[in-house]
Structure 1
Amino acid sequence: MNGARWLTQALIAEGVDTLFGYPGGAIMPFYDALHGSPLKHVLVRHEQGAAFAANGYARASGRVGVCVATSGPGASNLVTGIADAMLDSVPMVVITGQVATPLMGTDAFQELDVFGMMMPIVKHSFLVRRVEDLPHVVGEAFRIARSGRPGPVLIDFPKDVQVGDADALAPHVPLEVDDIPRPPDASLHAALALVSQAKRPVVYGGGGIALGHAVEVFRDFVNATRIPTVLTLRGLGALPAGHPLNLGMLGMHGTRAANLAVQECDLLVVVGARFDDRATGKLAEFAQNARVIHVDPDACEIGKLRHADAAVNGDIATALKALTLPCAAHVHGRHAVPRRQWLETCQQRARDHATRYDAPGETVYAPALLKRLSEIAPDAVVACDVGQHQMWVAQHWRFSHPRQHLTSGALGAMGFGLPAAIGAQLALQKPQDMDARVVCVSGDGSFQMNLQELATVARYRLPVKIVLLDNQALGMVRQWQELFFEQRYSEIDLSDNPDFAALAAAFGIPAMRLDRADAVEDALQKLMAMPGPALLHVAIDQKANVWPLVPPNHNNSEMLDASPSQNPAHPCADSSVEAESSTSPAASTSETPSHALSA
């Protein structure tokens, strides 16, 4: 029994069944210990793929994701995936090999200060200097990763400690995770008082709802209080799409109904959200007339960007349970009539600005394709890359639970989608059951950042379905250059893309091409019916943009829309011009759309 073998048994005791990694010199004793172990190790083709796969595993399952790499470049290649987990509060334990302790600080081969390098992007870093320290380190690593606001934890594991004698160590016993405290009664009373006084309340839900295991409680609260609700990118699914109180996503690419409701409300009930700049727009003008109830387990978030009139710090589920019945009593209280009128106004706006999918022309309209795919596969988990396709998924996929939507939110890391889909597939499928449906939606730019993981998909015959939207450009950058840089297109041309279908076929993955709107239904049905992995390469119009869009340094009521009737001048030149509906499909035509700023 050496340190490496003890660690494999400790991982099993912690409930780990799958880990993602890539071997190398300084981690070789651990890989020797994995030989014959019941742990399933998934060999990725780049360490960044290992970090993103563990990240996707954790997001889809709620369990701790584990990734492994060797020292030096192996560890440094993990950084982006770890940073993504830190910023999106994803529980992970990261194990890195390190040179033997006598060599540390000597610039030995593949030596890096991994402990120091990782400190800004993890909840905690451990450097194991003695075998005797392993029980404490492993127990604390998993406890910290799971506790409070989840996040990644590093275990840097020197080679001499891996091979050190561990016969004297007792079998590992996981540590208990402390419960998040109940919010103080005074804060709950303050919140109730604000709800009782509100005539135009709005619930603003974020990713903390799923992290706090509070989805059902959140739905009970919204249903009981009948308060119009908006959701962040990572809060999507907390209230099912199509729910009569769900106004959709708020923020830069949010719906008109959601953004206008927030701007006009007199009370904002913030649940597990952090006033991210992509959600708030110009912060000084965000919900200016609203008082704020902020419910969050992380005290550091409350008051960080916006003063909370009622700071409800503690367990989200407990707080919502305590507030639901008392707040519901005010549905028929003294402000019942104005609140009913407010709800009707919000719902009418949602109907007036409901998305249209009848885009003209013969080319594929990406929003319509994604909406239809969500209807064909309503139970699918979707792993997105970053860019225009990420926003189209957020706007048009009909999510019924937040864990269906895996997206790099705060970091916005391209290359996330495919490895995250691999992790999700392995987290959700049961032994001998490959029916868990995982879809990767990617763009031609993002996909090429980690396309080597097609080899991982092929090796393990994971039935991940890949929808690759190809506009032969870095689409979101191109859109911003069109709108805010006077159409000076700089380094966004991807017209020399490879043949993605042939590329998939080279990995042994079936692929189809789609470039006509009238072939969408047949292509999607065939894609989802394939028994194993498959790729659908979709050609879309390079000029298609994501609408609506809140320009930088504007508030959320000032949304850009596609408006072919206006001149293609700088969109912020005339704020008095009234745009067409934010859901106009005009951006899918072959003509360059012009733009207007409308409130």
Structure 2
Amino acid sequence: MQLTGSEIVVECLKEQGVDTVFGYPGGTILNIYDALYKHSDEITHILTSHEQGAAHAADGYARSTGKVGVCMATSGPGATNLVTGIATAYMDSIPIVAITANVAKSGLGKDSFQEIDIVGATMPFTKHNFIVKEIEDLADTIRRAFTIAKSGRPGPVLVDITKDVTANKTEYTKQTPKAIEPYTDTIKEEDVDKVVELIKESNKPFIIAGGGLVASGAQDEFRKFADIIDTPVCDTLMGKGAIEGTNARYTGMIGMHGTKASNFGVTRCDLLIVIGARFSDRVVGNPNSFAPDAKIIHIDIDPTEINKNVKTDASIIGDANEILKRLNTKLEKQNHKEWMDEVGELKNKYPLALDKTTLNGPSIIDALYEITNGDAIVTTDVGQHQMWAAQFYKYKETRQLITSGGLGTMGYGVGACIGAKMANKDRICVNIAGDGCFRMNMNEIATATRYNIPIIQIVINNHVLGMVRQWQTLFYGKRYSNTVLDDQVDFVKISEGMGAKAYKCTTIDEFKNALKESIELNIPCVIDCQIDSDDKVFPMVPANTSISEAFSEEDLAAKGYDC
């Protein structure tokens, strides 16, 4: 049948099972929005307050489900406002498709009104991108975009469509998407056998669980694998939930703000198995002193990650779930009781500091965990609150922590929380932000109230840019250059002005009561938690130093340092 380009866009979204789109209309994309209007009973469109919020919402939808998230924007500033969200998804390997419209083909290259080369602009941080100038190419391009976004190592794909293509007509035939098969061709039997032998020879193995385990849906096989080889497990920020936060094997996060048990344990191990992680600088610290006594096994779907940051002794390239299935069938049950006891002693000796009597970052996250029974989907912005959310909420499963890891995007959280809630209407969805981050995206509270999307926003408000101030305290002689937010902004009044229920808390009991009421009300709520400006995240590893140098506040006090 003959359809316009705009109708083809909508039909292709329906082919892919898309039920929700996040975006903001404008001149060049109006035809597509007109087609969406006619299909509003099949595809829900969420009008965000800013295009960046739309990109983050699509990202949150994707992270919480494993499906492809979709966002839309018009040409020029609409498209460029998506850039930060696209880059955020790229750094964390998140499958989103961003659809933009550009000026007509005849206007390209002429500095037409709101013309921008968004394909050129996003080329360095998309998995692939397209510009569609002929309507005959449109349907296949959109289908390819979805396939690319979710196959192999996932990532964002941008499709830019000239306005004339959205108006022209061509023949459209519906297609059923082919199933995306896991990458197995690269899994070599000799690589698997080598890994099996290294595991059998090891007396002190340790596992780092990364985001690739989440992307591949390998939670069950991974937990079985850890039990078979009888090993402690730590995770990266992106690997949260691969193993339960309450599991006896779990030692906490590794890296700059990882636990001492994880950092010291990895330093002492004789075999380090890294699955679906890329040895980022925040995990490794100084690569020359990382896991100095260990042979290193790297399992990853992307061959370019092997030996990129850390030299490995063995590797397997392919889908983590498929690889773990093969390893689990070849391995016999191991027994490393002495090593597990040694690491257990580290956990007992170096617990995370938690004061439950006052209102502080850790106590807020701990109370959130207790009140939600560990079942909430938690989104965060970036900074101290993000690290506390990683440290103190005990995630039961993958896709529970939704956070910007690689790019570290302030302003990510509210949009991502809206996206997660739209995909998980029966789950409690909570965004945790610092006051600095909340300033960057609090306009999306208006989006939540417009559609009555019942998210809970917790602002950990210390009236400073907390993580930057922490660095200034420890490494810059307490010179607080432009990190003090000592203005008259009242988040309660602002939130109420956008239609949300809002609370201000100064004690932990006030917070608990506000959180319980927010859950019961099931409407958009904002909880402004006033904490001390000098609260810090510990442990900490200085940049580019060995993770074995992790220090706590007590370590600094013992050296006479007042922080």
**Bucket of the pairwise TM-score, normalised by the shorter protein:** over 0.9
Counterpart position of 2:449: 458
Counterpart position of 1:266: 270
Is 2:230–2:334's contact at 8 Å kept on the other side of the alignment? Answer: no
Deviations 1:160-209 (A, max 9, x none): 0000012x222244244343115211001100111111111101110000
Larger displacement relative to structure 2 (129-138 or 474-483): 129-138
Counterpart position of 2:390: 394
- For residues 516 and 328 of structure 1, the distance between their equivalents in structure 2, rounded to whole angstroms, comes to 52
Q: CA deviation at 1:497?
A: 4.8
Counterpart position of 2:427: 436
Structure 1 residues 36-435: aligned runs within 5 Å? 36-37=38-39, 38-166=42-170, 168-181=171-184, 183-331=187-335, 339-358=336-355, 363-377=358-372, 378-429=374-425, 435=426
- For residues 298 and 441 of structure 2, the distance between their equivalents in structure 1, rounded to whole angstroms, comes to 38
Q: CA deviation at 1:411?
A: 0.2
Larger displacement relative to structure 2 (538-547 or 371-380): 371-380
- For residues 230 and 518 of structure 2, the distance between their equivalents in structure 1, rounded to whole angstroms, comes to 39
- For residues 516 and 7 of structure 1, the distance between their equivalents in structure 2, rounded to whole angstroms, comes to 51
Tell me the amino acid that sits aligned with residue 518 of structure 2.
L
26, 33, 36: which is aligned to 1:34? 36
Q: CA deviation at 1:355?
A: 2.7
Deviations 1:502-545 (A, max 9, x none): 11111111111110234343233223222211111100000100
Is 1:135–1:172's contact at 8 Å kept on the other side of the alignment? Answer: no
Tell me the amino acid that sits aligned with residue 27 of structure 1.
I
Is 2:152–2:319's contact at 8 Å kept on the other side of the alignment? Answer: no
- For residues 488 and 256 of structure 2, the distance between their equivalents in structure 1, rounded to whole angstroms, comes to 29
Three-state SS of the structure 1 residue aligned to 2:153 is coil
Counterpart position of 2:15: 13
536, 540, 544: which is aligned to 1:545? 536
- For residues 358 and 70 of structure 1, the distance between their equivalents in structure 2, rounded to whole angstroms, comes to 49
Q: CA deviation at 1:139?
A: 1.3
- For residues 565 and 76 of structure 1, the distance between their equivalents in structure 2, rounded to whole angstroms, comes to 47
Three-state SS of the structure 1 residue aligned to 2:305 is coil
- For residues 501 and 176 of structure 1, the distance between their equivalents in structure 2, rounded to whole angstroms, comes to 47
Three-state SS of the structure 2 residue aligned to 1:413 is coil
Tell me the amino acid that sits aligned with residue 87 of structure 1.
M
- For residues 45 and 517 of structure 2, the distance between their equivalents in structure 1, rounded to whole angstroms, comes to 31
- For residues 327 and 436 of structure 1, the distance between their equivalents in structure 2, rounded to whole angstroms, comes to 37
- For residues 394 and 409 of structure 2, the distance between their equivalents in structure 1, rounded to whole angstroms, comes to 23
Is 2:505–2:511's contact at 8 Å kept on the other side of the alignment? Answer: yes
Is 1:225–1:324's contact at 8 Å kept on the other side of the alignment? Answer: no
Q: How many residues align?
A: 556
Q: CA deviation at 1:150?
A: 0.5
Tell me the amino acid that sits aligned with residue 15 of structure 1.
G
Q: CA deviation at 1:215?
A: 0.7
Q: CA deviation at 1:304?
A: 1.2
Is 2:276–2:320's contact at 8 Å kept on the other side of the alignment? Answer: yes
Q: Does 1:488 align with 2:479?
A: yes
Three-state SS of the structure 2 residue aligned to 1:307 is coil
Q: CA deviation at 1:134?
A: 1.2
Is 1:261–1:346's contact at 8 Å kept on the other side of the alignment? Answer: yes
- For residues 360 and 422 of structure 2, the distance between their equivalents in structure 1, rounded to whole angstroms, comes to 31
Tell me the amino acid that sits aligned with residue 485 of structure 1.
Y
Please report the TM-score for the alignment, with normalisation by the length of structure 2.
0.96
Q: CA deviation at 1:359?
A: 5.8
- For residues 365 and 43 of structure 1, the distance between their equivalents in structure 2, rounded to whole angstroms, comes to 35
Is 1:139–1:175's contact at 8 Å kept on the other side of the alignment? Answer: no
Counterpart position of 1:476: 467
- For residues 212 and 565 of structure 1, the distance between their equivalents in structure 2, rounded to whole angstroms, comes to 44
Please report the TM-score for the alignment, with normalisation by the length of structure 1.
0.91
Counterpart position of 1:335: none
Deviations 1:49-77 (A, max 9, x none): 01000000000111000000000000000
Three-state SS of the structure 2 residue aligned to 1:382 is strand
Tell me the amino acid that sits aligned with residue 327 of structure 2.
L
- For residues 323 and 226 of structure 2, the distance between their equivalents in structure 1, rounded to whole angstroms, comes to 13
- Structure 2: state its 5+ residue gaps: none
Is 2:281–2:544's contact at 8 Å kept on the other side of the alignment? Answer: no
- For residues 236 and 400 of structure 1, the distance between their equivalents in structure 2, rounded to whole angstroms, comes to 9
| Structure 1 residues 123 and 497: CA distance shift in structure 2, 3 A | farther
- For residues 553 and 12 of structure 1, the distance between their equivalents in structure 2, rounded to whole angstroms, comes to 48
Counterpart position of 1:560: 551
16, 19, 24: which is aligned to 1:22? 24
Counterpart position of 1:583: none
Is 1:195–1:267's contact at 8 Å kept on the other side of the alignment? Answer: yes
Three-state SS of the structure 1 residue aligned to 2:308 is coil
Three-state SS of the structure 2 residue aligned to 1:547 is coil
Deviations 1:117-142 (A, max 9, x none): 11111111111111100122011111
Tell me the amino acid that sits aligned with residue 405 of structure 2.
G
Three-state SS of the structure 2 residue aligned to 1:35 is helix
- For residues 330 and 529 of structure 1, the distance between their equivalents in structure 2, rounded to whole angstroms, comes to 47
Structure 1 residues 571-586: aligned runs within 5 Å? none
- For residues 423 and 128 of structure 1, the distance between their equivalents in structure 2, rounded to whole angstroms, comes to 27
Is 2:511–2:529's contact at 8 Å kept on the other side of the alignment? Answer: no
Larger displacement relative to structure 2 (477-486 or 316-325): 316-325
Counterpart position of 1:500: 491
Deviations 1:305-330 (A, max 9, x none): 12221111112112112222543433
- For residues 10 and 110 of structure 2, the distance between their equivalents in structure 1, rounded to whole angstroms, comes to 29
Is 1:139–1:173's contact at 8 Å kept on the other side of the alignment? Answer: no
- For residues 559 and 103 of structure 2, the distance between their equivalents in structure 1, rounded to whole angstroms, comes to 63
Deviations 1:72-116 (A, max 9, x none): 000000000000101100001110010000110000000011111
Tell me the amino acid that sits aligned with residue 79 of structure 1.
V
- For residues 49 and 518 of structure 1, the distance between their equivalents in structure 2, rounded to whole angstroms, comes to 32
Is 1:469–1:538's contact at 8 Å kept on the other side of the alignment? Answer: yes
